[in-house]
Each structure stands twice: as C-alpha cells, then as structure tokens.
Amino acid sequence: MPNPTAAMLVIGDEILSGRTRDANMHYLAQELTKQGIDLKEVRMVSDDATAIEQAVRALSDRFDHVFTSGGIGPTHDDITADCIARAFGASIDVRADARALLERHYENSGLELNAARLRMARIPEGATLIDNPVSTAPGFTLGNVHVMAGIPTIFQAMVASVLPKLTGGDPLLSQTLRINRGEGDIASTLSALAEDYPELAIGSYPFQVNGVFGSNVVVRGTNGSQVDAATTRLAKELEL
C-alpha cells in the first residue's frame, strides 16, 4: 500500500513579504518522513480569507492530511480558525474546554484573559483540540486538516502532539553520493538508473565550489535493499 499523503498550508503576510523566514515546512517534512507520510505539496497564502478557504478545500480534497501554520493568535489578522470553519461549513465560537485551558494558564501567569486572548478559544464545531504544552492556546483538527500555530517552537510541539495519532507507512530511506562532475556528464547514467529503479526517487542537486561543478545525487525509497543496490551501482558506474 502506498504511504499516506500530506500537504502543508503556510498562512501569513509576514511570510510572503519576506519579513519572516518560514522554518516550519522544513521541520514538518522531516517529521513526516520519519512517520512514513509523504509530503506532496506546500502552499503559501496571505492573510486573505478567500485564499485560505480555497486552499484548504483544494488540499483537503487531494491529500490524506493537511497541516496549516499561522493565523490562530489573538490579533485581528488571525483569521485561520474562522476560515477553516467556513471551508468545512462548521459554526465557530468560544468552546468551554479551550476556554478552561486559557483561564488556568492566564490565572497562573497573573495576566488577564481579555477579549483578544479569548479569541484563541474559538474552535469550530466538531473539531478536536491539539495540545500546546508551550503556551497553552490549543490548535485543532477538523476533518483531515490539522491547524497549528506559526511560531516554530509551538508548531513543533503541536506536531509532536498530532503525529502519534496518525497512521503512517514505510519511512523514507535515502543515501547520498557526492559527485565532482557536472550534471551534463552524469545525466545519462542517472536516467538509466531511474528507468531500472522506477520505485525509487533519484534526484540530482548541483553545487559549485571554487569554480568546480558537482552534484549531490540522492537516492530515496522505502525499500532499503533497492536503495542500497541503486546507490552501489551508481558508485560503480561512476567509478567513485
């Protein structure tokens, strides 16, 4: 059986403006690989309700899981929860269990649970909460969409809360060969290898060091013996 598939939706004007560098995609890709869930697509959208809703619907229809990051904080531009609710046709309001979490957290912190902070307890009907051991305000899962914060430490904690509950497949294995030749010199060899090993992903990632061109060739797959065999053959044919 093929591995489950996933997509990621990164939400926020600050990402698209270049003000903030996204680190969450890299982390999620690594964790999904370990879990045997194949990340197939990543989209970035601004804080625009229509764009978020359309992207959520499209990705939810195409993939087994969708992970979103960003837009669930206390400010006016944190609109992700409302957009997810509309995408699924669900109502949304402050939910008692989420509110209780925030009440305890802010009481212990000596801070007021004001109207802005209470927005983080607004959860779509039918969603399950995602634990947030860093700052308490929960994410949520609705359907096959897992809605999480954009702050990397919180995002990572929420991913750790979600992944053990998901059924994965075979972890993706990989081996890398560093080849000090240009891609034009090795392209035919790689094409023949890819043809003979159709179940593997064989990628060439060029580099240039001191004017010398080379490539890191990565062989990926879920069958360890095939990965080993293909890598060994490549090394032999290129006399590495």
Residue 1 has pLDDT above 80, yes or no: no
What range does the domain containing 223 cover? 173-237
Taken in order 134, 70, 158, 142, is the CA torsion positive or negative?
positive
Closest C-alpha among 155, 166, 144 to residue 65: 144
Domain boundary among 165, 189, 213: 165
pLDDT tens readout for residues 116-146: 999 999 999 999 999 999 999 999 999 999 9
Strand 122-124, strand 92-94: pairing: antiparallel
The DSSP output letter for 75 is S
Q: How many domains does the chain fold into?
A: 2
Domain boundary among 165, 200, 219: 165
pTM score, two decimals?
Answer: 0.88
Domain co-membership, 158 together with 183: no
**Section 20-33 average pLDDT:** 95
Domain co-membership, 39 together with 127: yes
pLDDT tens readout for residues 167-197: 999 988 999 999 999 999 999 999 999 999 9
